[in-house]
Amino acid sequence: MNAYTAVKAAEVEAEASVARPTEDQELLRAAGKIARDLGKPNPAIYYTDLLACVILGYGALALTIATAGVWLKLAFGAFAVLALYRALGFIHELSHLNPRAMPGFRRFWNLIVGVPLMIPSFMYEGVHNIHHSRTRYGTAGDPEYLPLALMPPRMLALFLLASALAPVGLLLRYGILAPLSLLSPRFRHIVVERYSSLVINPAFRRDPKERMAHKDWPLWETLTSLYAIGWLALTATGVVHWSVLMTVMAVISGVAVLNQVRTLVAHLWENEGEPMTLTEQFLDSANVPPPNPLAALWAPVGLRYHAMHHLLPSVPYHNLGKAHRALMQQFGTRGTYNRANYTGLWVLCRNLVSSSFRKARGQAGS
């Protein structure tokens, strides 16, 4: 225990009953009823939405590559980022969808999004579900949680900078590490354990035995590896100009950075590793509901309702707006539910940065 923690221990204990609420049973019961009523996915919406994103995204990417003018190239590139970011967002739905409810959708998504963007679904499935565990959320065992609000401000900048390098890491993972790992069981163990998950917790290690639960893991890893090797080989031999690969990587980098910005405001990031009640987990998360029009761009496929998603992880994205309206109608603006609603990205970013600076000043003062 450091000096600052020792000085503040009494205050924290005194405030615990206020800062750490007990379960809101009425809210949890209402959420359970909504999950039963709105839990069925609509395949037509999923396929239509995904296909539109892919057609527009790859079309804009092709125009970005083909266009010579800088401003047009930037405009087409930005459009490609937004469309492909939304297409990638369906990986979150895959981690919660019952395969029997939409047979074939997972395969379809991997073929047209997962492999081309070098992020096959196994990198998220199973890992993301740990984040929803009632006993592991916000703890050291949560692959998708770091107490960012309690870290120095420079860590927030590094958090965003690291995401910009994502396409380089993906090319390395699938173009070089994947084939090399076939030569050594020990190295293969390391690749599966450390480089096969979309996480933000650097201490997280994936159980290599989990690979056996994903029967098609070898298929998607092989296809993604061949795809990455193909890019490297065609570029190295001059068949594809290096600028084409750089453009594709820049768009993937833009997708990764946009997703990292969304991740920064998905939670309040104030937990220091203690297990949390479901109500606490909900209040540590954020909704940005309508009328904010931009949230649909930076938090697509239902991610603008991230706090509610922690109450209703099985509800498909196209029903989250209905669920939000139902809960607001039932509880109004004074209930627990409304405490997780925020007006926009700027407010959440400002709160996070302010918390980080306050923590840094407190540590300096101690």
Q: Of 115 and 334, which is predicted with more confidence? A: 115
How confident is the model over 41-51, as a mean pLDDT?
97
pLDDT of the residue at 364:
66
Tell me if 23 is assigned to some domain.
Answer: yes
* Residue 62 belongs to a domain: yes
Q: For the chain, what percent of residues have pLDDT higher than 70? A: 93
pLDDT at residue 171 greater than cutoff 80: yes
pLDDT tens track for 231-259: 999 999 999 999 999 999 999 999 999 99
pLDDT at 15: 36
Three-state SS for 227-262 is HHHHHHHHHHCCCCCHHHHHHHHHHHHHHHHHHHHH
* Any domain includes 352: no
Is 295 among the domain residues? yes
The H-assigned helical ranges of the chain are: 3-19, 25-38, 43-66, 70-88, 90-94, 105-109, 127-131, 153-164, 166-172, 178-181, 185-194, 217-236, 242-264, 278-283, 295-298, 306-311, 320-331, 345-365
Task: Provide the domain count of the chain.
Answer: 1
Tokens of 206: 């994936």
Q: Count CB atoms within 10 A of the CB of residue 23.
A: 13
Per-residue pLDDT band for 8 (boundaries 50, 70, 90) equals very low
pLDDT over threshold 50, residue 7: no
pLDDT by residue (tens digit) across 304-355? 999 999 999 999 999 999 999 999 999 999 899 999 999 999 999 999 999 9
Inside any domain, residue 361: no
Answer whether residue 267 is part of any domain.
yes
Burial 144-161 (b: 16+ CB within 10 A, else e): bbbbbbbbeeeebeebee
Q: What is the pTM (predicted TM-score) of this model?
A: 0.91
- Residue range(s) defining the domain that contains residue 82: 11-335
Would residue 350 count as lying in a domain? no
Cα–Cα distance for residue pair 180/187, rounded to 1 Å: 8
pLDDT at residue 16 above 70? no
Enumerate residues 6+ apart whose C-beta is below 8 A from 177. 191, 195
pLDDT at 11 over 80: no
Weakest mean pLDDT among 30-39, 204-213, 299-308, 341-350: 204-213
pLDDT of 13 over the 80 cut: no
What are residue 267's DSSP bridge partners?
A: 285
The pLDDT assigned to 14 comes to 34
What is the chain's mean pLDDT, rounded? 91
What percent of the chain clears pLDDT 90, i.e. is strictly above it? 85
Q: Is residue 347 part of a domain?
A: no
